[in-house]
């Protein structure tokens, strides 16, 4: 990133933090958490201990980070090296991101940026300016992406509350500040789980490794009465609805399943798990009991949007509500070959042209690498 772009972003982020201290707080038990941050054009700083909001606000104003993080884990010694921290427990956290949903709209709002010459263009195999194949994909998510992620979040919440009996009051959902949502489970018996046990939990939530026997097909002596019913709780009920469609089709569908055989049924269960009923979460995030997560209220250095709690996820519009940088006009050189929307305004496409845009749009484009300060 060019030095003048870095300076502009640092000034914009500092102003945001100065104006929005009310949104940024340390989590519960801060003295047991590990904090970390990144600055523009530099690496991660970890193993930091903070006691209260005053310490956090001082860190923000002193360092002007591009990204601020806090551990999901609690430690006896959070500022020590990882091997010496003495892990106690970790909040159960899930990450659902638009990039993992294979949505058809992605190709319409994804472009490439050449890492050799900086040219931005529509997706292709090489840079149209210098023919380099060193390319970076840049996505400017749309409302359809966000709707897809919200659908997965609601599926996950249903499994957590209905199947795992986690009280809804223990679950909070936050927009990540870029293309997805984070879901936190606090104060539950699952906080004591290690990585392996969380992996088993992930398999259940994503409907992975389902066995035909669990869903009615005995390999050696199949029985029609063993297949799932519509009114059953948990995965058996969900599988029944997905496989049979309606109660009237159930008998005929079961006959075909038995006729096709055990292996085909296993493949069908794998297929519906991946493509429909399984929740599409990032498993690596949940099993990592030492991960540090973006702090709520902080800005995302990939977009300039804020990570915010969503009390009503169905109504939450991240590209308006999380867009909290001011709207002073800024002149930039736009290199954005696709259209995007912020605060219900359309921007782009721009072909290496000098334009004047609100600061929130300038910050967004520079963070994405598709603009430079004029």
363 pLDDT above the threshold of 90: yes
Q: What is the pLDDT of residue 191?
A: 93
For residue 37, the SS3 value is strand
Q: What is the pLDDT of residue 332?
A: 97
Q: How far apart are the first and last CA of the chain?
A: 14
Please compute the mean of the pLDDT values over residues 303-328 and round it to a whole number.
Answer: 96
Q: In the block, which residue shows the tokens 């066995």?
A: 211
The CATH class that applies to domain 3-100+142-203+282-373 reads alpha beta
Q: What is the pLDDT of residue 187?
A: 83
Instruction: State pLDDT tens for residues 8-38.
Output: 999 999 999 999 999 999 999 999 999 999 9
Are 228 and 257 in contact by the 8 Å Cβ rule? The answer is no
Q: How would residue 298 be classed by pLDDT, with cut points 50, 70 and 90?
A: very high
Q: What is the pLDDT of residue 4?
A: 96
Average pLDDT, the chain: 95
The number of C-alpha atoms within 13 Å of 307 and in the hemisphere containing its C-beta is 26
Q: By percentage, how much of the chain surpasses pLDDT 70?
A: 100
Are 210 and 243 in contact by the 8 Å Cβ rule? The answer is no
For residue 73, the SS3 value is strand
Sign of CA dihedral 257, 260, 265, 271: negative
Residue by residue, what is the 3-state secondary structure of 282-304? Answer: CHHHHHCCCCEEECCCCECCCCC
Please compute the mean of the pLDDT values over residues 311-332 and round it to a whole number.
Answer: 96
| Contacts of residue 107, Cβ cutoff 8 Å, sequence gap at least 6 | 123
Residue 261 CA to residue 188 CA, distance in Å, equals 41
Query: What tokens does 143 get?
Result: 């409302």
Please compute the mean of the pLDDT values over residues 127-152 and round it to a whole number.
Answer: 94
Instruction: State pLDDT tens for residues 182-221.
Output: 999 988 889 999 999 999 999 999 999 999 999 999 998 8
Q: What is the pLDDT of residue 267?
A: 96
Q: What is the pLDDT of residue 41?
A: 87
Catalytic residues: 95, 97, 282
324 pLDDT above the threshold of 90: yes
Q: How would residue 248 be classed by pLDDT, with cut points 50, 70 and 90?
A: very high
Q: What is the pLDDT of residue 186?
A: 87
Q: How would residue 345 be classed by pLDDT, with cut points 50, 70 and 90?
A: very high
Q: How would residue 1 be classed by pLDDT, with cut points 50, 70 and 90?
A: confident
Distances (CA, A) of 114 to 136, 164, 189, 241, 348: 6, 46, 47, 47, 19
Q: By percentage, how much of the chain surpasses pLDDT 90?
A: 92
Residue 207 CA to residue 218 CA, distance in Å, equals 19
Are 360 and 330 in contact by the 8 Å Cβ rule? The answer is no
Q: Can you give the residue ranges of every domain in the chain?
A: 3-100+142-203+282-373, 208-277
Query: What tokens does 264 get?
Result: 């085909």
Strand pairing class (110-114; 135-139): antiparallel
Helices (H), 176-261: 195-206, 234-244, 250-260
Residue 197 CA to residue 346 CA, distance in Å, equals 46
- Phi/psi region, residue 3 (left: phi>0; alpha: psi -120 to 50; beta: rest), is alpha
Q: What is the pLDDT of residue 308?
A: 97
Q: What is the pLDDT of residue 188?
A: 85
For residue 92, the SS3 value is strand
Buried b (16+ CB within 10 A) or exposed e, 265-278: bbebbeebbeeebb
Q: How would residue 347 be classed by pLDDT, with cut points 50, 70 and 90?
A: very high
For residue 119, the SS3 value is coil
């Amino acid at each position: 990133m060019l030095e003048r772009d870095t300076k502009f972003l640092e000034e914009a982020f500092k102003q945001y933090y100065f104006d929005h201290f009310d949104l940024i707080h340390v989590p519960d038990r801060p003295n047991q958490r590990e904090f970390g941050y990144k600055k523009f054009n530099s690496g991660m700083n970890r193993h930091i201990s903070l006691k209260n909001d005053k310490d956090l606000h001082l860190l923000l104003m002193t360092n002007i980070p591009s990204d601020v993080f806090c551990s999901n884990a609690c430690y006896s010694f959070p500022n020590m090296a990882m091997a010496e921290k003495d892990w106690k427990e970790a909040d159960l956290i899930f990450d659902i991101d638009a990039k993992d949903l294979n949505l058809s709209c992605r190709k319409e709002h994804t472009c490439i940026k050449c890492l050799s010459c900086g040219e931005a263009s529509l997706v292709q195999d090489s840079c149209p300016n210098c023919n380099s194949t060193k390319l970076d994909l840049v996505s400017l998510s749309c409302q359809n992406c966000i709707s897809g992620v919200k659908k997965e979040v609601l599926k996950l919440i249903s499994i957590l509350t209905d199947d795992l009996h986690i009280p809804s009051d223990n679950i909070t959902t936050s927009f990540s500040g870029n293309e997805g949502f984070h879901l936190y489970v606090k104060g539950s018996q699952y906080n004591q789980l290690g990585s392996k046990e969380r992996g088993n939990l992930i398999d259940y939530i994503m409907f992975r490794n389902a066995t035909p026997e669990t869903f009615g097909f005995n390999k050696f002596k199949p029985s029609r009465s063993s297949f799932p019913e519509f009114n059953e709780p948990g995965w058996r009920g969900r599988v029944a609805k997905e496989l049979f469609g309606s109660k009237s089709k159930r008998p005929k569908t079961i006959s075909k399943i038995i006729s096709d055989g055990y292996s085909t049924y296993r493949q069908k269960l794998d297929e519906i798990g991946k493509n429909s009923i399984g929740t599409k979460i990032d498993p690596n995030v949940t099993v990592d009991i030492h991960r540090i997560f973006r702090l709520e209220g902080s800005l995302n250095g990939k977009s300039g949007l804020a990570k915010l709690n969503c009390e009503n996820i169905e109504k939450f519009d991240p590209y308006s509500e999380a867009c909290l940088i001011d709207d002073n006009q800024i002149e930039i050189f736009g290199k954005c070959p696709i259209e995007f929307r912020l605060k219900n305004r359309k921007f782009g496409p721009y072909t290496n042209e000098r334009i004047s845009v609100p600061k929130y749009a300038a910050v967004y484009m520079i963070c994405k690498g598709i603009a430079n300060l004029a």
